[in-house]
Structure 1
Amino acid sequence: MKKIFIISSLSVLALMGILFGCKKVSKGFISDYMYYTPNPLIATQGNVVNSKAIELDGTTGPVTVKLLAVRNMDTGQPAPDMLKEFTIKQFLGQITSADSTVALVNKKIVLKPALPLEVSEIGGRISLSQATANVATGNYVIDVRVSNVKGTRDILNACRIQLLPKAHFALDAGPFFTTSDPDTETGFSGQSPLPVTITYDNKGPNKIRFVFLDKNGATFDPSAGQVVTRGDRGNFSQMNPYFPVVRTNTALEWEFIDLPNGFPIKDGNNGTGNYYRIPARFTVENRNANPVFFGFKALSAGSYTVTIQIPAITKKP
Structure 2
Amino acid sequence: MKMIRSVLMLIALISVAWFGCKKIPVGFIGESMYYKDSPFKIEQGNIKQVTSSLNLDGSTLPVNVKLLEVRVKGTNQRADDFYKEHEVYVYKQPIDPAVDTTIAMVNAKREKKMLPPFEFLPSGQFLFNAGTIFLPARAQYEFDIEVSNESGSRVYKNIGEIQLQDAELFRPYAIANSWFSDQTGLSGTVNSTPEMIITKVSNQGTNAIVKIVDKNGVPFNPKKGEIIKRGDRPTFESYAKFNPVVIGDESMTCNYEITPFPMKRISGYGDFLMYYRIPSTYATLDNFPAGQAPGSTFSINPRFGFQIKQEGTYLITIKLNGVTHK
TM-score normalised by the chain length of structure 2: 0.66
The residue number in structure 2 matching 1:21 is none
- Shift, 1:213, TM fit: 1.7
- What does 1:216-227 correspond to in 2, within 5 Å? 216-227=216-227
- Correspondent of 1:294 among 306, 313, 318: 306
CA contact (8 A) 1:222 1:248 kept: yes
Relative to structure 1, the CA distance from residue 53 to residue 188 in structure 2 (aligned partners, 3 Å threshold; closer, same or farther) is farther
- How far residue 299 of structure 1 moved from its aligned partner, in angstroms, is 0.6
Cα RMSD (Å): 4.2
Q: State the match for 1:176 in structure 2.
A: 174
Matched position secondary structure for 2:113: strand
- CA deviation map 1:186-207 (0-9, x unaligned): 656899673313242467x764
Taking the aligned partners of 1:221 and 1:106, their CA distance within structure 2 comes to 34
Shift of 1:71: 0.5
Partner of 2:103: 102
Structure 2 counterpart SS, 1:238 = helix
Give the corresponding residue for 1:121: 122
Partner of residue 142, structure 2:
141
Do the aligned partners of residues 314 and 265 (structure 1) sit closer, same or farther apart at CA in structure 2, a change above 3 Å counting? closer
Residue equivalent to 1:241: 241
- Residue 77 of structure 1 deviates from its aligned partner by 0.8
Amino acid at match of 1:276: Y
**In 2, Cα distance between equivalents of 1:43 and 1:61:** 32
Partner letter of residue 227 of structure 2? V
1:161 is displaced (CA, Å) by 1.9
Larger Rg, first or second structure (1 or 2): 2
Count the aligned residue pairs.
Answer: 283
C-alpha distance in 2, partners of 1:64/1:230? 59
CA offsets 1:39-68 (integer angstroms, 9 cap, x no match): 242331474322223456787877653322
TM-score by length of 1: 0.68
| Residue identity (%) | 25
Residue in 2 aligned with 1:277? Answer: 276
Deviations 1:64-97 (A, max 9, x none): 5332221011543112442455443323434344
Instruction: Report if the CA contact (8 A) 2:235-2:276 is conserved.
Output: no
After superposition, give the CA deviation of every residue in 1:191-231 in whole Å (9 maximum; x if it has no partner).
Answer: 9673313242467x764321012232222222344434455
CA deviations on 1:5-26 (whole Å, 9 max, x unpaired) are: xxxxxxxxxxxxxxxxxxx9x9
In structure 2, list runs of 5 or more residues that go unmatched: 1-23, 288-297
